[in-house]
Every structure is written in structure tokens, then in C-alpha cells.
Amino acid sequence: MIYAFWNTPAVQKAVQTLVMVGIVTIVALLVGGVGYLIYSRKKEKEMVEKGYVKYVNADGKEVWGTPEEAERMSYYNQVVEAIREFKPARGYQNERYYQYELYQWLKAKFKDVRLEEQRGSSRPDIVVGDIAIEVKGPTGYQDLQSIADKLVRYPEHFSHVIVVLFDVTANPARYDDWKRGLKKRFPEVSVIRKDSIER
């Protein structure tokens, strides 16, 4: 019965069609893969001839740029990693303690770190080279709202901006909305959230 069904012209035609579609798909994938490989090698050769190097940008994607851009991004990535490794001694009720403790941590790792004196709201809390670091903590919803205004001004004077949020107390839904909006408006800004266990 199965043999008779298998040998019917309709089944044989369907099997032949499936085999043909499979072969065409495999050939298309192979041709596309080889074409992409040739294109990427050609692109890589062009970039190298221009003096560009490949590096990882702030979003973790590989991009081409000048050696100077790559060096600045490497330094930036080191600063981001150092901040991610930082753990405050405890939770504080005053932002200045977070700022100072993070400043001390970064000062032990990088030579060009300075703690900015607050004269109004136009300066970041900490500067590492040409990287501005804005610190908030404990971070309520009003603290989050005040960040966007600063982010408009900082890029005029700094190559990168990092926002470090300690002990976020804002409603989780509002925080998520804020972060999505911030990333849409300032995609180059890194936001690092650090919540302490105890207060």
C-alpha cells in the first residue's frame, strides 16, 4: 500500500520538486556566502589601505575607523569596564559619597581623572580624559529627568558620556520608559546601573 502510494506520479513529482527546491536553496546559500566573503575581504582591504583599523564601538559592534578613534574607544571601553567592576562600600543617602568613592576607584586605575567641583549644573561629576561621567544616587524619577538636560550640553565638550545610576528607586516601568527614550535620543551614551543590596 505504502509502496503503491509512493510510486504514484503525484508523489514522485512532489518529491522531485522538494529535492530541486532544496538543491536551489543550498546553491543560493553557498553563492551568497561566497559573495559576502569576497565583498567583506574587498571591503577590509580598502579600509586597511585607507589606514583604518577595526575596533569595537560603545554598542559592542565591530566598526572601522582611524587608529585614533580606535584608541579613544579602547580607552572608553576600559573606563566603562572599570565602572562596571566598581562596588560602593555601602548604600548612601547622599550622591556625593557615591561620586567620591567612584572617583577614588577610577583614580587608582587611570591617571587623568578629576572630580569636578559643582558650580551649577553644567559640569559632569567626574571626568576621565575627555569622558564625562554623570553620577546619580539614590536615583528617583526626578533624578532621571534631570539627566537629559545635561546630556544635551556635555557632548560639546567631551567625546563620550557615561551615566552611572546608584540605587534606582524610580518605578521600574518609568525607569524602562526613561532608558528607552534616552537611548533613542542619545544612543552613544552608556548607562550603567548599580544597585546596592543594603542601605
Looking at every residue in the chain, the average pLDDT score rounds to 85
Burial class (CB in 10 A: 0-12, 13-18, 19+), 103: buried
180 in a domain, yes or no? yes
How many domains does one find in the chain? 2
- Which pLDDT belongs to residue 164? 97
Q: Are residues 111 and 165 in the same domain?
A: yes
Measured between its terminal Cα atoms, the distance across the chain in Å is 76
Residue 104's domain spans which residues?
A: 86-194
Q: Contact, 153 vs 122, CB < 8 A?
A: yes
Angle at 42 between CA 37 and CA 45, to 5 degrees: 125
CATH number, domain containing residue 182: 3.40.50
57 in a domain, yes or no? no
72 in a domain, yes or no? no
Tens-digit pLDDT profile for residues 93-126:
999 999 999 999 999 999 999 998 665 556 899 9
Q: Are residues 93 and 178 in the same domain?
A: yes
Lowest mean pLDDT among 5-19, 44-58, 136-150, 177-191: 5-19
Q: Are residues 179 and 107 in the same domain?
A: yes
Burial class (CB in 10 A: 0-12, 13-18, 19+), 124: buried
Q: Are residues 163 and 95 in the same domain?
A: yes
- Which pLDDT belongs to residue 41? 79
Q: Are residues 122 and 186 in the same domain?
A: yes
Label the pairing between strands 131-136 and 160-166: parallel
Q: Are residues 12 and 105 in the same domain?
A: no
Grade residue 27 by pLDDT with cuts at 50, 70 and 90.
confident
Q: Are residues 90 and 20 in the same domain?
A: no
